Amino acid sequence: MTTTDTVTTPAPGRRSSVVNNAVYENGVRIATPDSLHDTFDVLSKNPKALAWIGLYRPDTEELGELQREFGLHELAIEDAALGHQRPKLERYGDTVFMVLKAAKYDDADEEVDFGELHIFAGANFLITVRHSEGPDLSVVRRRMEKSPDALKEGTEAVLYGILDAVVDGYSPVVAGLSNDIDEIETQVFDGDPKVSRRIYLLNREVIEFERAVSPLTTIIKTLAAGFADGYVGETLEQYLRDVDDHVTQTKERVEEFRVLLRDILSVNAALVGQRQAEEAKALSEANNQQAVESRRIAGWAAILFAPSLIAGIYGMNFHFMPELSWVFGYPMALGFMALFMLILYIVFKRRGWL
């Protein structure tokens, strides 16, 4: 709720959800009623007037008053009371019920915050129902009041003004998403391990944003086809085409984002796989080098084992060892040591252990 909104006086013991309430005739505000009942009285006295009523989280009693006064359909009232509706435009006789999704990008959390807006429009009234802070419709009201010629067009012009404001609010969202995708591309090639989660979460926000934008094309075409009488002024029709162009551009950018994020995710998966393969290769090479060193050590250990065995036998100092008193005993022992070492060296060398 903004400080520029005008809160009407609630009934005793009841909180009023009316944040702005005005009646216009020939594009000029002729009354600012203090209650819904006063608004109904002004309309009854001015058949050509237009009431623009803004509600913020209304209760069922207030919606019931509006339903009885303007003949609103019970299904539309139920949707407005419950919220969580998809963007749509439905006709109930001479009344139009429209749901829009305003969007605001939270760059810190990389989330798209949506504000759901319900609009009832008839020949002499327009009712907006918000369940969240956005969008700020007081800006739209001030702009429309500065253009009496536009307000003369009736509820169609007000619907266009609200729709235009909602669509204009998509541009900062597109810019924020584009900036974050650029950052993600840098993260991917820098090898940031957290980037996969960021890609997934941002892709989810893009999908939600697409769900808010895509139905607007059908909504605009329905509005361009005419209101209750099937007629839309030429100027208003041109404005609707302009809004439709903006919606189309936004849809194209959103589709680009989805393709980019999908491709980035594929590239990231390929780079992760490449890095894992390189790490596995390096580990395999280290293991191979370790095996070579182990074989080399084992080979030299075996070569040194032969003379150690012979020296160990003669080091036992038994008295009955004929070689100890033989003149060639010592040279023979050294010769056997050298021979065994040479044979083992040749064998291990041929097998690549040394």
Q: What is the DSSP secondary-structure string of 34-101?
A: SSHHHHHHHHHH-TT-EEEEEEES--HHHHHHHHHHHT--HHHHHHHHH----SEEEEETTEEEEEEE
DSSP single-letter state for residue 324: G
Q: How long a stretch of residues is the chain?
A: 354
Cα Dmax for the chain: 144
3-state secondary structure of 153: coil
CB 124, CB 30: distance < 8 Å: no
Q: How far apart are CA 252 and CA 256, in angstroms?
A: 6
Q: For the chain, which residues make up each domain, given as ranges? A: 1-145, 290-350
Confidence (pLDDT) at 168: 93
Cis omega (within 30 of 0) on the bond before 135?
Answer: yes
pLDDT tens by residue, 121-168:
998 999 999 988 878 898 999 999 998 888 888 888 898 899 999 999
pLDDT tens by residue, 327-351:
677 777 778 778 877 887 787 777 7
337 vs 243, residue with greater confidence: 243
Provide the CATH number for the domain formed by 1-145 in this structure. Answer: 3.30.460.20
Confidence (pLDDT) at 5: 45
CA angle 253-256-262, nearest 5°? 145
Which residue blocks in the chain are alpha helix, DSSP H? 36-45, 60-70, 74-82, 137-145, 148-151, 155-168, 170-190, 195-213, 216-224, 234-314, 329-350
pLDDT tens by residue, 57-102:
998 888 999 999 999 999 999 999 888 889 999 988 889 999 999 9
Radius of gyration of the chain (CA): 42
Q: Angle, nearest 10°, between helix axes 74-82 and 60-70?
A: 150
Q: Phi first, then psi: give them for residue 66, nearest 5 degrees.
A: -65, -40
